A and B are shown apart, each in its own frame.
Chain A
């Protein structure tokens, strides 16, 4: 649920949580994002950093410059601005994805598990916009909301030890993209040639909470071409504006 009034909860002596609810909900995400924007606009000198998540905004402050009491009061005032207010601009990032084959070795399984053809799984997975609720787990990993329940598939019972960077997978009713090679138990349905995390870029993560991701099916040839462009630094990720709530 979403709380009537946000709760400000202790995160030790260097941080406070502003918690809006305890559920995965686009409206809750919007409130977290509004607070994030309000805090950025307030330019608080004691602010160290913020971590937006599904349920809350974790606000780190410099205890040499303010007390928890003072910080609470400031956050209460700012949190009031999260109700209503104007729509925030969002963008949709296109993630070109090659489905199936060696790049998505579980596509057939996901199809069979749900009584669908592989083509139907692709159609249901691509072509819709997924809300980025938060980043976490590993650098650049985005938690996406809005997957069609008809392609939900449980994780592998034994995780794979190595999953290549860019792999697109399904775990339960979630979908996501592995930003770096890592072990993992997600069912892999495809792979994108674009980079989701680059420590040399500002910001280092391609995706940002509050924005959207859309998977666009590509061929293996296109995958190879885009990968070359990414390596040469000439590839431009396609982004389009989205009017929130529309």
Chain B
């Protein structure tokens, strides 16, 4: 059913789900929500499962006319969400009616909001996913960001939506200072001992040239042993590549599948959602963990996810 008409698209509003898996071998980036935690919670709040698509809203949000009675939930960054010009709470399911207007205002905390609608945003899947990859015009709505006049459809909602709200203990806090846990490698041997110490003990600032592809950092240059270029290999999410200028770039959802710069480390996957919400000028420090420690962090994160899923599947 038709759920929204876009009155104003905002700065960069795209349709995203968990991402497009299985096609990196053909050079197709994974894409998907930058903040997978906020995406999942938005979906769970309106009775969707984790595979449904949401709107990823960047910094300056859209203005949407509601076309059908339904339920929505907005999670992630606080971008002054409003319904008919009155503030609307985030991190909970809200009923909206045909004729309502959902809008956003001044960005307060974080970078990206996720708007879920009961039944999910429905567009044709491309290679198994609804995620938008703008650079190659794949997925989403004609492979592009939303525009004024676009009409969005939702899939079939699975159940009646009761009042659901994320309990405070599961709400993330977006910080100006971020500690990112990293696993060294695969090319930490391309850097001098001093280079690795610089990486682990300096503070970096998120630059303005940060987008869905990667987070560029400014700060102390990291010293290579000899060269920054490698014979290309794959790029996992959160990989920290260091080009010749020594300034690290953390590769994110829209990263290319392969690349030719040495990668000093990879950010643990549980820390990627907070990086997705870190604004320009926010500070970043790297903390080394072992592969096993990162695995334990991930397991604990999965347990949290299971607990939230369980909580939100019941009526309260």
Contact = CB atoms under 8 A, between A and B. Distances in A.
A55 B232 CA distance: 7
B236 A64 contact: no
B173 interface: no
Interface in A35-49: 48-49
Contacts of A10: 183-186, 266, 291
A139 B24 CA distance: 8
Among A23, A48, A139, chain B packs the most CB atoms within 10 A around the CB of A139
A58 B233 contact: yes
B226 interface: no
A63 B185 contact: no
A83 interface: no
A56 B138 contact: no
A140 B27 contact: yes
Contact of A137 (B25, B184, B258): B258
- Chain A CB within 10 Å, residue with most, of B183, B292, B295: B295
A155 to B, nearest CB: 14
A56 B295 contact: no
Contact of A50 (B25, B237, B259): B25
Interface stretch (A84-92, A198-206, A216-224): A198-206
B238 A12 contact: yes
A69 B236 CA distance: 18
Given A22-B230, A63-B295, A68-B292, A140 B26 contact: yes
A54 B231 contact: yes
Contacts of A49: 21-25
B302 interface: yes
Interface residues on B, range: 35 or more
Interface residues of A, number: 44
Contacts, number: 138
B138 A199 contact: yes
Among B28, B233, B292, the one with the most A-chain Cβ atoms within 10 Å of its Cβ is B233
A12 B27 contact: no
Contact of A11 (B26, B27, B236, B292): B236
A28 to B, nearest CB: 9
A139 B27 contact: yes
A141 interface: yes
Contacts of B237: 12, 14
B267 interface: yes
Closest 8 CB pairs of A and B: A58-B234, A12-B266, A136-B258, A9-B186, A51-B234, A205-B26, A11-B236, A13-B294
Interface of A: 9-15, 17, 19, 22-24, 48-56, 58, 60, 63-64, 67-69, 134-141, 143, 180, 197, 199, 203-205, 209
Given A13-B291, A138-B256, 15 more contacts: A10-B183, A10-B185, A12-B236, A14-B269, A15-B234, A17-B233, A22-B230, A51-B257, A55-B233, A56-B234, A135-B25, A136-B256, A136-B257, A139-B27, A143-B232
